[in-house]
Chains A and B, each alone.
Chain A
Amino acid sequence: MPEVKILEEVCKGCGLCCDSACPVDILILSPNRINSNGYHPAEVTDMEKCIGCGYCFKVCPEPAIEVYK
């Protein structure tokens, strides 16, 4: 099963991965978590649905996303 790991301290909360990049739409900007730079990092809502396409990694400018399979 594919797994997406968000590096919370690297994420700048731009939201490019959350908008339309994810084909199964399981990424959101965390409403209550905050990192040491003051950004709301992205988080996965339902890892079961992940298909491991890596589009979130491709659009991430940092890159703060790792995909495991």
Chain B
Amino acid sequence: MKKIFGRPDGLTDTLLRYCPGCGHGIVHRIIGDLLVTLNIRERAVGIAPVGCSVFADEYFNCDMIQPPHGRGPAVSTGIKRSRPDCIVFSYQGDGDLAAIGTAEIIHAGARNENITIIFINNAIFGMTGGQLAPTTLPGMKSTTSVQGRDIEKQGYPIKVCELLSGLDGPYYLERCAVDTPKNIIKTEKAIKTAFKNQIDNKGFSMVEILSMCPTGWGKTPIQAKKWITDVMAQYYPLGVFCDRSKEEK
């Protein structure tokens, strides 16, 4: 009997401290897998975000650094420019990347920095208790919008992939989800492309992943998974938003 699927060597043996049914674990496993299959674990530097995955440095079996809130792309830029041989990935949530780190991500994209961004979009601030995030859907309830997000008061959600695809800089932008096995396999491919672009010195790659937060949404894991398919993926359409490798051909 040969083990064909199991915990990848890119993850440590530490048990993940996320809530049951959280999408972070699936993305951690995908990255852990790719660190090994692309043979980049020894030279990878991960950027841990602020949020639920702030302990990502304990989970990934590679070098990690923990910058201030939202400054992942800025710190990634510094590491990549001083150590171009390193493979730098910034793992960020929506509160981290789309709220306090909006300036950093836009300018990193505009400069076409040769880094990889993994952006987890769960439409809510998970760790602090389910408050309204810049990505919260219109009408969606959170602890700071108990009647549902009112676009008159709180405005419209930020669609980060669409926002960045308006720039000339970014090399690769894709939005995926982790609700079904099919979409998870697509996410694996997207993150692999994002890492390969960096290995080939192509430039800025970002993968946005729609991920479930059952605790913050007040749903069971199964309901949360279905909600991504039925509601969230309709508002945030999945697909490739920018891929400059096609223009080069």
Point out residues on A near B: beta carbons under 8 Å: 3, 10, 12-16, 19-21, 39, 52, 54-55, 57-63, 65-69
Which of B3, B16, B181, B222 sits near A61, CB closer than 8 Å? B16
Question: Contact at A3–B185, with CB atoms within 8 Å?
Answer: no
Bound Cα distance from A52 to B15, whole angstroms: 25
Question: Contact at B6–A14, with CB atoms within 8 Å?
Answer: no
Residues from chain B with a CB closer than 8 A to the CB of A52 are 4
Can you give 8 contacting A-B residue pairs, CB < 8 Å? A21-B180, A21-B181, A54-B5, A61-B16, A61-B25, A62-B25, A63-B29, A67-B6
Residues from chain B with a CB closer than 8 A to the CB of A68 are 1-4
Within 8 A of A (CB), among B69-126: none
Question: Contact at B222–A57, with CB atoms within 8 Å?
Answer: no
Within 8 A of A (CB), among B1-32: 1-7, 15-16, 18-26, 29
| Interface size class of chain B, counting residues whose CB lies under 8 Å from the partner chain | 20 to 34
Residues from chain B with a CB closer than 8 A to the CB of A65 are 5
Of all chain B residues, which has the CB nearest A55?
B181
Closest CB-CB distance, B209 to chain A, in whole Å? 13
Residues from chain A with a CB closer than 8 A to the CB of B178 are 59
Question: Contact at B1–A16, with CB atoms within 8 Å?
Answer: no
Total of A-B residue pairs, C-beta within 8 Å: 76
B184 on the A face (CB < 8 A): yes
Which of A10, A16, A55 sits near B222, CB closer than 8 Å? A16
The verdict on A60 contacting B25 (CB below 8 Å), with A10-B15, A69-B1 known, is: yes
Bound Cα distance from A13 to B20, whole angstroms: 7
Question: Contact at B7–A63, with CB atoms within 8 Å?
Answer: yes
Of all chain B residues, which has the CB nearest A21?
B181
Question: Contact at B4–A54, with CB atoms within 8 Å?
Answer: yes
Question: Contact at A15–B221, with CB atoms within 8 Å?
Answer: yes
Q: Which of A13, A16, A66 has the most CB of B within 10 A?
A: A16
Closest CB-CB distance, A44 to chain B, in whole Å? 14
Which of A21, A60, A62, A69 sits near B4, CB closer than 8 Å? A69
Which of A3, A14, A20, A66 sits near B21, CB closer than 8 Å? A14
Of all chain B residues, which has the CB nearest A64?
B7
Closest CB-CB distance, A48 to chain B, in whole Å? 15
Which of B3, B23, B26 sits near A66, CB closer than 8 Å? B3
B225 on the A face (CB < 8 A): yes
Which of A14, A20, A62 sits near B221, CB closer than 8 Å? A14
Residues from chain A with a CB closer than 8 A to the CB of B5 are 54, 57-58, 65-67
The verdict on A16 contacting B21 (CB below 8 Å), with A59-B184, A65-B5 known, is: yes
Closest CB-CB distance, B170 to chain A, in whole Å? 28
Which of B1, B181, B225 sits near A3, CB closer than 8 Å? B1
Closest CB-CB distance, B86 to chain A, in whole Å? 27
Residues from chain A with a CB closer than 8 A to the CB of B184 are 58-59
Question: Contact at B6–A66, with CB atoms within 8 Å?
Answer: yes
Closest CB-CB distance, B18 to chain A, in whole Å? 7
